[in-house]
Amino acid sequence: RGHFGFGMPVIYHSNSPKPAVEARFNAQYRSLDELLQQADFICLTLPLTAQTEGLIGAEQFALMRPESIFINISRGKVVDEAALIQALQEGQIRAAGLDVFEREPLELTSPLRQLDNVVATPHIGSATHETREAMARCAVDNLLAALAGERPANLVNPQALG
């Protein structure tokens, strides 16, 4: 949403075009390769799955422009961290903003800690008062449902119920 204040066009990639996203944000769908070649800011917001693990590696960083800023707020293993470090060190991309890493917490010896073109946070991107309150409310609601013999709304392991 920040793009509105800056007059920035929005391009995105997903498994398929999303007309609602396009209408709301005046966004345009691109293939992943097209997006990587065209975007000034690349922000990953996807889950870690068998299909997305290692999605962004040396080949994808090579498609990005030297002025690109890469942001990962999804899952660390979506990105080949060694390839990211190399892209940052060699100037393939300008900078990175990272809230997630292949191994968490980020190791003290990680080169990411030494690079001037990296801003890193310890996986706290969603940590607002509102999100923490919503998470607590969700946990309590699920606990109360389970204690009442009901199916919790956010059940992760249904096989446990038999």
What amino acid positions are annotated as catalytic residues?
75, 104, 123
Contact 42, 65 (CB under 8 A): no
- Torsion angles phi and psi, residue 95, rounded to 5: -160, 170
Q: Which residue has the tokens 């899952």?
A: 75
104 to each of 48, 98, 112, 122, how far by Cα in Å?
A: 15, 12, 13, 8
- Torsion angles phi and psi, residue 55, rounded to 5: -60, -40
Q: Which residue has the tokens 């995105």?
A: 12
Q: From CA 88, how far away is CA 107, in angstroms rounded?
A: 18
Contact 153, 143 (CB under 8 A): no
